[in-house]
Amino acid sequence: MRIRHVEVSPVRLRLREPYSIQYETVEEATNVFLRVETEDGKIGWGCAAPDPLVTGETPEAAEAALREAADWLRGRDPLRISLVAHAIEKKLPRAPSARAAVDMALHDLLGKAAGLPLFVLMGGYRRSIATSVTIGIVALEETLRHARERVAEGFRILKVKGGKDWREDAEKVIALRRELPPGVRLRFDANQGYTAQEALAFLRRIGKGTLEILEQPTPARELLALQEVTRKASLPVMADESLLSLRDSFRIAARSLADMVNIKLMKVGGLVPARKANAVAEAGRLETMVGCMDESRVAIAAGLHFALAHRNVEFADLDGHLDLLDDPATGAPLLKAGRLSAPNLPGLGVDVKL
């Protein structure tokens, strides 16, 4: 099997409603789609979701990187995924979301060549997983409205964004806990907005049993601050922006900097490095969550297959596709009552019409 044709297509995706996090407000997202076709007519899909503040890439840079990768991919054997992943990492060291697009397109082809859903090929640990759904930084009443709407839609895990003012964040979390049914789980993501002292004050204010997880409370590179919060917190602390590579996964595990890690395919460069980072986390007895950016169903499906395949990936935050109005992809993931599953189709289980 050889690759005969590669296409790169950037697509601007409007959001149903703009949202804010600690360091930016998002109104639209650009995803760069990759279509890889083999000599026998099989098609693999990949998708890059670049973000200058997270992956270090602009959409233009990701597109340029994928066009460079496309020239190299033509004529290659797409089933030699490990070889290709190593070569692309050396070729595009500063383009993790572009590498992720190549990686997932090849995995899509692998599943189609085998005639099996990708998660089955990678291990097939579970059939479905509950996902959180995110509420951005908005006023208290709007936060409560969003929460009620999401619960009515069937979601039972809410992730609340904050990090600008720990006192306001604490009051918001307390109000949510009072408002929501006991079965709804709350997670909080400060997106690097607190000092260690502010994070601990926030936790003292909300009290025990209010939150399930505190995600990235302190700046990504201030690892001692993250470690301090982890050691003193009364609930699990998750590293997100502090994990951008396999080396970061090892550092977090070896130094007990966090209790959990959030692995995003766009940050680490695809499924091959994500599986390695998860193995390192598991060896260090850290649980893993698979997260996402503002991503098409193509990329969300890849993250879902990763979660379904591996026992240690116990948490999912795969909601990045839900508010995209112009997504050209259909199919996986399937959503029912807040749980995601993959269709019984080969590869990623997505179809894309550009």
Phi (first) and psi of residue 87, to 5 degrees: -65, -40
CA distance 17 to 9: 24
Phi-psi region of 285 (alpha: psi -120 to 50; beta: other; left: phi over 0): left
Question: Residue 167 and residue 94: Cα distance in Å, rounded?
Answer: 37
- Rounded Cα distance, 263 and 249, in Å: 9
E strands, 182-284, in order: 185-189, 213-215, 237-239, 260-263
Q: Determine which helix (DSSP H) or strand (DSSP E) holds 56, and give its type and residue range.
A: none
Six-digit token string for 327: 């997504």
The Cβ-side half-sphere exposure at 3, using a 13 Å CA radius, reads 28
Distance CA 143, CA 135 (A): 7
CB contact at 8 A, 255 and 281: no
Tokens of 61: 């840079």
| Positions marked catalytic | 161, 189, 215, 240, 264
As a residue count, the chain comes to 354
Burial bucket for residue 213 (CB in 10 Å: 0-12, 13-18, 19+): buried
Structure tokens at 307: 């979660």
Taking the C-alpha atoms of residue 303 and residue 297, their distance in angstroms, rounded to an integer, is 10
Residues 230 and 330: their CA atoms lie apart, in Å, by 40
- The answer to whether the beta carbons of residues 352 and 118 sit under 8 Å apart is no
